Structure formats: structure tokens, C-alpha cells
Structure 1
């Protein structure tokens, strides 16, 4: 995890410029506008960023088609192209499951979207333990390029951690992708125990938001 100051007994402590808003209970965004934040200046291009134009898969294959080795590599990467789906240019990324793989607790897995009647605490972790988030997702229609994630964590309404990472570039395919995020370590000590709120978000290199999840987890002395 990044940008953290070590606290007493190895606990997470708020950064000096912490966010002060409190994340709500577990919920999934209901629309792309909910995910991407239509009032976010970055998403509206106010910072001068202009997304690159999307190119249909057939055009990807036709480019450099005189290069036999490159053409074969593209066909292997992109696979079969369904003419009925070619009218859909923008990639569709659907997240199917989220899980936790830990060195001290049983593996946890749940389907997405999270059921509305699910307990407020999605999973429990042991203090001072290593864990990784495990996700399965499917890509359709087009290549999703530079898929990244950010995971912000709050306790008592104060942000205590922020982690970011790169998943990569993925071509559309029938079988879902399985991806493990970077290893994280929970803090330890009495002050570290309790319930945390978190927000997990996935965007591509054109700043398109494909998935966002607010969730809660608990750190205990024992699982």
C-alpha cells in the first residue's frame, strides 16, 4: 500500500490530506454515470485530456494485413469476430465475482453484483496478514486497453489508505479472465481492528469507468 505513515502497533493512520467523506454501505453503481461521476472535471475532459477514438475489431485486423506474422498474431489475440457484434465499438467489461485469498483465513468468493440484503461486512481479515483481491471478468466487443484499478479505504470517515495498480490490456473472448490484484498487508494491533469502508474502481487508459464497488470489511485478531 502506498502513501501511508506507520502508526502505533502497525496500524493504518490517516494521511494529512485525507478525504473526509464517509463511504456508504455495500452498493454497486447502477449506471455508467454513477460509476464515472458525471460531475468529475477529469471525466468531462476539463483537464485537457481527449480520449483516443475507438477502432472496430475488423479494422484492427485489416491494419498491417500485408505483414503475415503480425496478421496471424492479431488473429490469435482477437480470435473470432462476430459480424453481428461488430456494430458495437466500445468494449464492455463485466465483472462476475470478487474474492479474497489470504494466508490466514479461508478463501472467500461472492458473485457480482453483491446482493442488496448482504451483510454490511463483505469479508473478514486477520490483523497483520497478507491478502489479495481476486476478480473474474469478461470482455466483449472490443479490446480494453490499459485497465487499471484503485482501491481507497476509510475508517470512521477518514481515508487511511489508497492503492493503485495495472491489470493490463485484454481482448474480447468467451471465457472470463481471472486476475489477482497486488498483495496487501493488514495492519495489526488493537487500534487496527474494526470495520473499514472501501471503494474499488476500474478504468481504462481512456478514463472509461467499467466497474465501481463500495464495500465493507472487518479486521479481527483472529478470523
Structure 2
């Protein structure tokens, strides 16, 4: 008899917005380049997003490509990297996290074209169908760049004890923006063990 599959309701992966928050209207890169050219502070903001005329205008394909999630810890000698482009099934090949260890997740991503506003990382962790944890982290707004961006999320502490070590946890991760465009949506599993593996 096979183990029951974890079910993740999309309601679990809806971002939380502050009351009254309304995302701004999407604009093309060319529109941003032309916007208030004489406003010095706006020009500094545009330069911080890479809107300086050196990046090509609107192109096809996703605005954001998530490259990897990496787990790091002071107790882990080599970071654990989940590369989304490779064909490893991270749902069928669980990662082992050391019980009680403090660890952090880093996301590496590309912004390919256009500006992405309000990029955020959502993650729901379940075990035997019961939601144990939800993470909703704002990443920020970014302009296109030929080099990847990285975002390190707040450190977490792995559970410990015999009960924590018995069973597999399923995490569903999603990367979205203010317009609710989804750039990555994937599942991965992990176990809690006495040592990293």
C-alpha cells in the first residue's frame, strides 16, 4: 500500500497583503525609461533597477526564472543545492536536515526582461496532510540583469526529537509577484535526521 500523497490547497499559497495595498499598474521598460527623466531621485531608483538603457526592451519568455534553492547551515559542510533546471525529482528524493540545526534557504533567480514588482517566496510545509508551517517572504522589486540575484531568507530551526524524525515532510514552494504571476511552483520533501545527509 502506497503512502498517501500530500495535498496542498492553492489557498495555502496565497500571499498576504497589507490592508488597502494595491499594486501599481504594469509598465514596459521603455515607459519607465521615459518616465520623469528630469527627476533625480526617480532616476536613481531606475538605475538601481537596471533601467539605464543598456538592457534590451520587452522580450518573450518569463520575466523571472528561479534557478535554485540552497540550504546552508553552520553545521553543514557543503550546502544542499536544489537546481530547478535539472531533472532531479526533489519530491521522490528527500533531503535530510539535521534535527535542531539552524539553517537558511537562499533563492537564486534571474530577472530576464521587464521590471518585476513585489516578488515574493511562499512555502507551505505539511506532514501527513497537516499544515505545519507557512512562509511568506517579500523578496522585492528588481529590474532585468545579465547576472543572477540571490535572496537569503530568515534562518529557521529544524525540529528535533524522535517524533520529528519519524516521517517525511512535504514542502511546496511558489514564487509570485504583485500581479499574482507564478514563476515557480514545485514540491520537495525532507526528513529530519540525527545528521545532515
TM-score interval for Structure 1 and Structure 2 normalised by the shorter chain: 0.7 to 0.9
Q: Which runs of 4+ in 1 moved over 4 A?
A: 49-52, 116-119
* Residues 148 and 165, structure 1, Cα contact 8 Å, conserved in 2: yes
| Matching residue of 1:17 | none
Residue 177 of structure 2 corresponds to 204
- What does 1:47-58 correspond to in 2, within 5 Å? 52-58=24-30
Q: Cα distance, 1:111 vs. partner?
A: 1.8
CA 163–70 in structure 1, closer or farther in 2 if over 3 Å, else same? closer
Show structure 1 runs of 5+ residues with no match: 1-19, 25-36, 43-48
Gaps of at least 5 residues in structure 2 are 15-20
- The structural deviation recorded for 1:113 is 2.9
Q: Contact conserved, 1:150 with 1:164, CA < 8 A, in 2?
A: yes
**RMSD of aligned C-alpha atoms?**
3.1
Inter-partner Cα distance in structure 1 for 2:68 and 2:23: 29
Equivalences for residues 29-40 of structure 1 within 5 A: none
Q: Any conservation in 2 of the 1:58–1:81 contact (CA below 8 Å)?
A: no
Matches within 5 A, 1:91-170: 92-106=63-77, 107-116=79-88, 120-170=92-142
In the alignment, is the contact (CA less than 8 A) between 2:116 and 2:177 conserved in 1? yes
The two structures have a TM-score, normalised by structure 2, of 0.79
Write out aligned runs for 1:7-18 (5 A). Answer: none
Please give the alpha-carbon distance, in whole angstroms, between the structure 1 residues aligned to 2:44 and 2:161: 55
TM-score (norm 1): 0.70
Which moves more between the two structures, 59-68 or 144-153?
59-68
CA distance in 2, matches of 1:72, 1:158: 46
1:22 alignment partner in structure 2: 6
